[in-house]
Structure 1
Amino acid sequence: MSTKAERRAARQQVATYHEAQLAALVQRVAEAVDRHRAGELDAFEVDEVIFQYQRAARQLWTFCQTTGAQAEFAAHIIQRMSHDGGGDEPIDWWERGQAHRRR
């Protein structure tokens, strides 16, 4: 069983990861808005980006909203993704926000 300090550290690691990943998603929206202002994207294309952001941010939020042992498990996954070479592939939250096309 882990200590209270270890659980607190795990929650902090997950919160730090959440903030960094959310900032990367927000950056995608900012870039789309900038491209719209430059005349490169129309309003519908920006709207698609915003919807993808919403789906991606929701999945990220679900992953990061953990408590107790769940926070420790999420922190373990984050640690595995952050190790160079030997770790797991990082989760591409933007890709996970892609709309599922019906066939």
Structure 2
Amino acid sequence: MSHRAERRAAREAVSAYHEAELAKLVERVGQGIDGFRSGQLDAFEVDQVLFQYSRAAKELWKFCNLGSVELTASLIARD
């Protein structure tokens, strides 16, 4: 496989990982909002869920974007 094809495959792997992990975080936010609407959570508890989402989403972005795409893809493949 050429370097260009390897890099493209690595970008696709990192992108798929980012999207899948972000979807999990968004699902958690949805559960928090649903809990608020049903009366199981109060506004402060939902605020905590949103705060955790914000921190986790930032860390996910940093992991997926602050290094060699090939290295990131290899780390994802190992996990």
Same fold? TM cut 0.5: yes
Say which of 62, 75, 78 aligns to 2:76: 78
The amino acid of 2:21's aligned partner reads: Q
TM alignment of 1:1-103, pairs within 5 A:
3-66=3-66, 70-81=68-79
Moved over 2 A (4+): none
Q: Indicate the RMSD between aligned Cα atoms, in angstroms.
A: 1.2
The amino acid of 1:71's aligned partner reads: V
Gaps in structure 1 of 5+ consecutive residues: 82-103
Q: Quote the residue 1:96 is aligned against.
A: none
Pairs aligned (count): 78
3-state SS, counterpart of residue 14 of structure 1: helix
CA offsets per residue over residues 57-94 of structure 1, 9 Å max, x none?
Answer: 00000011156xx111010011001xxxxxxxxxxxxx
Gaps in structure 2 of 5+ consecutive residues: none
- Distance, in Å, in 1 between the alignment partners of 2:66 and 2:52 is 23
Question: What TM-score, normalized to structure 1?
Answer: 0.73
- Distance, in Å, in 1 between the alignment partners of 2:66 and 2:73 is 10
